[in-house]
């Protein structure tokens, strides 16, 4: 079941890339569409990944005050095509458990630099240790994993009904940008930057990543204290995601 979902995600990533490349000759770029793309990119990257998949599902750093917000944020985490919460959390917990070793799914030491692709996901989807994600083995999460493709199709169809160009600006292009930023983060967040803490891995804080992933750029801080809501340690290490969490948590 998890292998099938990983394969679906890889195909969706390829589809988004093809739509991005071919659609760039057909759509209208203007101030509104560019700003809409940037906003969607940050919603996907910060709300979908940083807050929901990362700090909530992976590290249990907080609990949502309202279930409707949790469902909305979870939906966002699914439609951006980084995998189901079960799959994403599994890979991330492996990363923390075996960071920068040969068992790390996306250590730059072993995987190298990949602008595109989800090799770290597909390589581990056929041998998932369910114990590592036992807290997510619920009916709700299993259904999200099982019907993953339907969630994405529903979102794309909704955009297409309104305006076919929205599929490009509010799905394909943001999905490609998220993939570029996250794959870059997986590499540079363990390769270049400074360290506030001497952890057992090669995690770094990288200010160059901040414009794209905001507070997750302080990755060494996070590896030192992964359960904290905020990654901020030094005064200049701003973490906007933590501010949002403080507004929506119990």
Per-residue pLDDT tens over the stretch 34-81: 999 999 999 999 999 999 999 999 999 999 999 999 999 999 999 999
Residue 5 — very low, low, confident or very high, per pLDDT cuts 50/70/90? Answer: confident
Q: Is residue 7 part of a domain?
A: yes
Burial class (CB in 10 A: 0-12, 13-18, 19+), 115: exposed
Q: What is the pLDDT of residues 126-168, one digit of tens each?
A: 567 788 899 999 999 999 999 999 999 999 999 999 999 999 9
Report the pLDDT averaged over residues 20-40.
94
Q: Is residue 225 part of a domain?
A: no
**Number of domains, the chain:** 1
Q: Is residue 55 part of a domain?
A: yes
- pLDDT confidence of residue 215: 96
Q: How far is residue 171 from each of residues 34, 154, 166, 167, measured CA to CA in Å?
A: 13, 12, 7, 5
Report the pLDDT averaged over residues 3-22.
86
Tell me which residue range forms the domain holding 78: 2-171+241-248
- pLDDT confidence of residue 1: 55
Which distant-in-sequence residues (6+ apart) come within 8 Å of 157 by Cβ? none
Q: What is the pLDDT of residues 87-100, one digit of tens each?
A: 999 999 999 998 98
Residue 240 backbone phi and psi in degrees, to 5: -60, -30
Q: Is residue 101 part of a domain?
A: yes
Decide: helix, strand or coil at residue 218.
Answer: strand
CA distance 215 to 240: 6
Residue 120 has pLDDT above 70, yes or no: no
Q: Is residue 236 part of a domain?
A: no
Q: Is residue 215 part of a domain?
A: no
Q: Is residue 127 part of a domain?
A: yes
Which carries the bigger pLDDT value, residue 10 or residue 69?
A: 69
User: What's this model's pTM, rounded to 2 decimal places?
Assistant: 0.92
Q: Is residue 132 part of a domain?
A: yes
Q: What is the pLDDT of residues 178-192, one digit of tens each?
A: 999 998 999 999 999
């Amino acid at each position: 079941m998890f292998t099938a979902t990983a394969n679906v995600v890889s195909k969706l990533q390829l589809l988004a890339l093809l739509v991005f490349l071919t659609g760039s000759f057909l759509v209208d770029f203007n101030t509104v569409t560019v700003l809409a793309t940037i906003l969607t990119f940050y919603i996907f990257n910060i709300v979908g990944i940083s807050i929901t998949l990362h700090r909530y599902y992976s590290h249990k750093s907080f609990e949502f005050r309202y279930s409707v917000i949790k469902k909305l944020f979870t939906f966002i985490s699914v439609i951006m095509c980084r995998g189901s919460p079960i799959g994403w959390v599994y890979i991330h917990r492996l990363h923390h458990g075996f960071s920068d070793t040969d068992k790390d799914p996306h250590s730059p030491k072993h995987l190298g630099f990949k602008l595109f692709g989800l090799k770290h996901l597909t390589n581990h989807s056929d041998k998932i240790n369910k114990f590592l994600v036992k807290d997510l083995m619920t009916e709700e999460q299993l259904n999200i994993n099982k019907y993953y493709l339907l969630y994405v199709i529903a979102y794309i169809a909704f955009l297409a009904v309104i305006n076919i160009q929205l599929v490009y600006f509010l799905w394909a292009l943001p999905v490609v940008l998220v993939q570029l930023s996250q794959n870059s983060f997986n590499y540079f967040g363990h390769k270049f930057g400074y360290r506030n803490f001497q952890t057992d891995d090669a995690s770094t804080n990288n200010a160059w990543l901040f414009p794209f992933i905001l507070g997750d750029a302080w990755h060494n801080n996070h590896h030192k204290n992964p359960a904290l809501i905020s990654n901020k340690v030094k005064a200049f290490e701003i973490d906007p995601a933590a501010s949002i969490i403080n507004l929506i948590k119990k």
